[in-house]
């Protein structure tokens, strides 16, 4: 069935098809539409779930952790300050190996107060032990909801999963989306089963303390799960393509990179504009390419290094800044390329903070500056007196 949906609505449809048994909900712009739609689905009977309207984002994740510890499939969603308020719970969920799926509507963080979209909220929390993926459009958002559960719940992974949608640009933009039927969804995503749960017949210790003699082993196991997740993502996407007919490209998506001299590495919805500009540059004889990061955890370092090939220079465009250094995505990309022996210069371009528009002219200048050489970090639109 094809419908005209926003990114938020599409993701809610994906969650419905995944059939979680517990939804813990707290509203925050621009995520609210997701939990509103899910509440309507529970009310009209199209989704059989316990819908719990909690008093805060911290409680939303705490509720999801408790439900997951009881052995059921769970869902929650948040954005910006709400995600930061959940920070304590993020490490509880990952350390407890609870495969919770959460949608985050990427939004700027305060102060100054701002409800518009950049990616500083999710990228600030990359080290909390959650798989993190970034959707580009509403169809991918719906499909990622289903794939997130299959990947997170795989016994080789057993790790919570955060799916990020660009605030307003994706969450509130409408496009045509194909909605699978429930039979297809059940074929792709079996009922949730886990041994990592409270069980009166077979008691387990969950949420325990571990001192210096053993704590490091648990942390290593969390890391090893991310390495195994790479293969599970590939398996899940092959199965998804076989059932639904839509193919995805793993941790990264490449465009015109095989012979590119200049490549932009980016994530989220801005990748579409970068491709358009790359097409125009190609028509002018400039070999431009684009790499979109679909996942930032696990980080696709090897895949990026392979994709840049013999490029002369590389730009990382992101809606984030780690104050006093550079963008978080840039530092990850630059380290991976150095480790792989890539000698091409890598430049960082920071844009879109607080929802500021990134134009096609901006992207064209990024390609021009990358070809000529520029500062290690460039803030788009900061000139003259603005400094």
Secondary structure string (H, E, C) spanning 175-207: EEEECCCHHHHHHHCCCCCCCCCCCCCCCCCCC
- With pLDDT > 70 as the criterion, what percentage of the chain qualifies? 99
pTM for this model (two decimals): 0.97
Bridge-based pairing of strands 346-350 and 22-25 is unpaired
Q: What confidence score (pLDDT) does residue 387 get?
A: 52
pLDDT by residue (tens digit) across 236-276? Answer: 999 999 999 999 999 999 999 999 999 999 999 999 999 99
Tell me the CATH number for domain 252-386: 3.40.50.920
Q: What residue ranges do the domains of the chain occupy?
A: 2-244, 252-386
Give the Cβ contact number of residue 273 at 10 Å: 18
Question: Count of residues for the chain?
Answer: 387
d(CA 369, CA 265): 14
Find residue 75's DSSP bridge partners: 23, 101
Q: What is the mean pLDDT of the chain?
A: 97
The DSSP code for 113 is P
d(CA 34, CA 30): 9
2-244 and 252-386 share one fold = yes
**24 Cβ partners below 8 Å, 6+ apart?**
52, 54, 59, 60, 61, 63, 64, 67, 74, 75, 76
| Mean of pLDDT values over 89-117 | 98
pLDDT by residue (tens digit) across 58-101? Answer: 999 999 999 999 999 999 999 999 999 999 999 999 999 999 99
d(CA 250, CA 334): 20
Q: What is the SS3 assignment for 15?
A: helix
Q: What is 2-244's CATH topology? A: Rossmann fold (3.40.50)
| Mean of pLDDT values over 167-178 | 98
pLDDT by residue (tens digit) across 4-62? Answer: 999 999 999 999 999 999 999 999 999 999 999 999 999 999 999 999 999 999 999 99
Give the Cβ contact number of residue 371 at 10 Å: 16
Find residue 253's DSSP bridge partners: 292
Q: Does the pLDDT of residue 155 top 70, yes or no?
A: yes
Listed residue (161, 96, 115, 153) closest to 294, CA to CA:
161
């Amino acid at each position: 069935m094809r419908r005209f949906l926003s990114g938020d609505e599409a993701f809610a449809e994906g969650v419905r098809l995944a059939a979680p048994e517990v939804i813990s909900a707290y509203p925050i712009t621009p995520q609210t539409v997701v939990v509103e739609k899910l509440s309507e689905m529970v009310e009209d009977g199209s989704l059989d779930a316990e819908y719990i309207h909690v008093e805060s984002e911290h409680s939303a994740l705490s509720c999801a952790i408790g439900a997951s510890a009881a052995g059921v499939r769970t869902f929650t969603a948040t954005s910006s300050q709400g995600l930061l308020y959940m920070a304590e719970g993020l490490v509880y969920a990952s350390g407890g190996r609870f495969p919770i799926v959460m949608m985050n509507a990427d939004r700027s963080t305060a102060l100054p107060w701002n409800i518009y979209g950049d990616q500083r909220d999710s990228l600030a929390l990359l080290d909390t032990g959650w798989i993190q993926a970034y959707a580009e459009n509403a169809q991918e958002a719906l499909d990622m909801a289903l794939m997130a559960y299959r990947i997170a719940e795989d016994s080789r992974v057993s790790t919570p999963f955060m799916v990020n949608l660009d605030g307003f640009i994706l969450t509130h933009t409408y496009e045509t989306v194909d909605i699978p039927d429930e039979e297809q969804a059940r074929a792709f995503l079996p009922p949730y089963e886990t041994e990592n749960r409270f069980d009166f017949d077979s008691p387990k210790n969950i949420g325990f303390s571990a001192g210096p003699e053993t704590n490091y082993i648990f942390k290593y196991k969390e890391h090893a799960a991310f390495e195994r997740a790479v293969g599970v993502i590939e398996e899940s996407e092959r199965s998804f393509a076989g059932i639904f007919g839509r193919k995805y490209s793993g941790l990264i998506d490449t465009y015109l990179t095989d012979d590119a001299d200049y490549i932009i590495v980016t994530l989220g919805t801005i990748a579409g504009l970068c491709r358009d500009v790359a097409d125009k540059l190609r028509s002018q004889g400039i070999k431009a390419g684009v790499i979109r990061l679909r996942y930032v955890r696990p980080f696709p370092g090897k895949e990026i290094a392979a994709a840049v090939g013999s490029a002369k220079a590389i730009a990382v465009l992101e809606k984030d800044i780690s104050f006093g250094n550079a963008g978080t995505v840039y530092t990850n990309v630059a380290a991976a390329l150095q480790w792989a022996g890539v000698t091409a210069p890598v430049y960082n371009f920071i844009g879109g903070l607080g929802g500021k528009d990134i134009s096609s002219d901006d992207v064209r200048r990024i390609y021009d500056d990358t070809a000529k050489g520029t500062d290690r970090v460039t803030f788009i639109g900061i000139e003259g007196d603005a400094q």
